[in-house]
Amino acid sequence: MGFAKRNRFAWQLRSRTLTLGERTRVMGIVNATPDSFSDGGSYDPVAHGLRLLDEGADILDIGGESTRPGGAGLVDGSEEQRRVLPVIEALTRAGAILSVDTYRASTARLAVEAGAEIVNDVSGLLWDTEMTAICRDLRCGVVLMHTRGRPQEWAALPPMQQIAATVVRELRERVASSGIEPERLVIDPGFGFGKRGAENFELLAGMSQMQELGLPVLAAASRKGFLGGDVHDREFATVAFHTACILAGAHVIRVHDVKAAVQSAKVADAALTW
């Protein structure tokens, strides 16, 4: 049995370079929001971030607004910033590599100025017309994710055809139109974002096609609804799904449970050495 060859990259962040491909990098999720679909309001975000670092997270992704189905747009930019900026400032002082999970250009700018190295935009730079220019100006790392429509529209979207090929084509167009330096980009196929149920597994089956873009790949499926069951009973499914993503070429996995992700990634990485 063979696995996809994973290329190596030097990801240029705001003030440093992060090597990708030698081993899987784990991005730990820190929700500074009371309405997250999985753990909103259940912990102090700074203390939680420090715990995830102790468990082996390479990057912490700080978010201040839920993008669950029907969730985006329920808070404004000023509230999002009130939630995330103190967390970013505190975790920057702790030496963490930080990403801000936002689709707002104003939040992205303030977060990077506060210490974030990466902007993780679930809209693929589409929901805020100023985001692309802001990311170019900030010269930070950027995660550019594929999505279809907005969360409020997902339930009514028509089925996708040739899912992996479509995602690759549309990501290629977004990368080209962004004008962002390729060495600053990581792409995310956007599991769950406008893809329903079995469509996500079809996308997983075609995951190796993402390598056609010549960019590092991030996979983010942690606790998402298409994995089935109750949200708090999806960790085993999350580990299985992300392991398959790594074996298909993913460089980074974005997770809630860092300890399990680090352990499973080591097994997958060992398989990729052969």
- State the pLDDT at residue 35: 55
- Nearest to 241, CA basis, from 259, 274, 216, 265: 265
Residues with active-site annotation: 224, 254
CA distance 155 to 173: 25
Torsion 86-88-93-94 (CA) sign: positive
- pLDDT of 157 reads 87
pLDDT at residue number 156: 85
Below-50 pLDDT ranges, the chain: 37
**Buried/exposed code over 42-73 (b: 16+ C-beta within 10 A; e: otherwise):** eeebbebbbbbbebebbbbbbbbbbbbbebbe
Q: What is the CATH code for 16-272?
A: 3.20.20.20
**Mean pLDDT for the chain overall:** 93
3-state secondary structure of 258: helix
**Domain chopping of the chain, boundaries:** 16-272
Burial of 201 by CB count in 10 Å (0-12 exposed, 13-18 middle, 19+ buried)? middle
In sequence order, the β-bridge partners of residue 27 are 59, 254
pLDDT digits (tens, 9 = 90+) for 50-104: 999 999 999 999 999 977 555 555 789 999 999 999 999 999 999 999 999 999 9
Q: Provide the pLDDT for residue 141.
A: 98
Dist CA 123 CA 126 (whole Å): 5
* Single-letter code of the amino acid located at 250: A
